Amino acid sequence: MFDLISTYQSRIFDAFWVTIKLTFFSAIGSLIIGTVVAGMRVSPIPVARWVGAAYVSVFRNTPLTLILVFTSIGLYTTLGWTLGSGDIKVINYRWAIIGLSIYTAAFVCESLRSGINTVALGQSEAGRSLGFGFAQNLRLIVLPQAFRAVIAPLGSVLIALTKNSTVASVIGVVEAAYLMNDMIESEAALLTIGAIFALGFVILTLPTGLFFGWLAKRYEVAR
């Protein structure tokens, strides 16, 4: 096992670094999109609520693989949307971030909407009595409390995003799953290779779960 690690050490670190970057940038994108969609889902405007519900229904029930293939083949290859300059690997990397963000945002939205529903109605009424509009009330009063209520669920979404980033290998993004497949094709040590990458993902996701668990206890909303 250690001989195999030493042979592929540089490539393994590079692949997991790509996985970390995919997770990081996709987490930011999904958090922004998910927050906007959650606001739409609780909006007093019927059309906004319908669009938000449609977004969640479509992307939560669409396979991530299909979304990534559509972005790479449909938007990039067919329509020529490159998202800037670079070779095909760089462009597919950018589309992987977009696809992961759009997909994960549906789950962020539902987690955040459950947090919004935990905020006491009197809090919103107090904001309206101060002259706050819907957007201002949501931004200053409701969302800060909602985020505190759903820290643990958002941590679970982030862990799932880390594991879902392996799907980016289907469009040629050289991350952990892509390298593992390449190593399996050229090496006979199947169990050893699987153990290496399983350990790598445990190292990535376990601290994330512990950190969000600590945050949830630290900033838990008192009831």
| Span 123-169, pLDDT tens digits | 777 777 777 888 888 888 888 888 888 998 999 999 999 988 888 87
How long a stretch of residues is the chain?
Answer: 223
Q: Which amino acid is at 58?
A: V
Residues 6+ apart with CB under 8 A from 4: 183, 187, 189, 192, 193, 196
- Is pLDDT above 60 for 18? yes
Confidence of residue 102 (pLDDT cuts 50, 70, 90): very high
In a domain, 204, yes or no: yes
Give the whole-number percent of the chain exceeding pLDDT 90: 31
- Whether 110 maps to a domain, the answer reads yes
Structural domain includes residue 82: yes
Smallest Cα–Cα separation from 35: which of 108, 94, 100?
108
CATH code (residue 45): 1.10.3720.10
Cα angle 39-98-183, degrees, rounded to a multiple of 5? 135
Closest Cα partner for 109 from 163, 164, 39? 39
Tokens 């799907």 map to which residue?
167
Within a domain: 45:
yes
- Report how many domains make up the chain: 1
pLDDT at 36: 95
Distance between CA atoms of residues 60 and 75, nearest Å: 20
* Residue 132: count of CB within 10 angstroms of its CB: 16
CB 107 within 8 A of CB 34: yes
Domain annotation covers residue 188: yes
The verdict on residue 83 lying in a domain is: yes
* Residues 201, 130: Cα–Cα separation, whole Å: 48
Question: pTM for the whole thing?
Answer: 0.86
Domain range for 58: 2-218
Q: Tell me if 223 is assigned to some domain.
A: no
CA 40 – CA 61 distance, rounded (Å): 19
- In the predicted model, is pLDDT for residue 1 greater than 60? no
Look up residue 23 and give its two tokens.
Answer: 């997770």
Work out the pLDDT band at 75, boundaries 50, 70, 90: confident
pLDDT of residue 39: 92
The pLDDT score that the predictor gives to residue 113 is 92
- pLDDT for 57 beyond 70: yes
Q: Which is nearest to 94 in space by CA: 22, 170, 164?
A: 22
- The whole-number pLDDT of residue 54 equals 96
**How does DSSP assign 123-167, residue by residue?**
HHHHHHHTT--HHHHIIIIIHHHHHHHTHHHHHHHHHHHHHHGGG
pLDDT (tens digit, 9 = 90+) per residue, 173-207?
A: 766 777 777 777 666 567 777 777 788 888 888 99
pLDDT at 33 over 90: yes
List the one residue out of 107, 1, 29 whose CA is nearest residue 62.
107
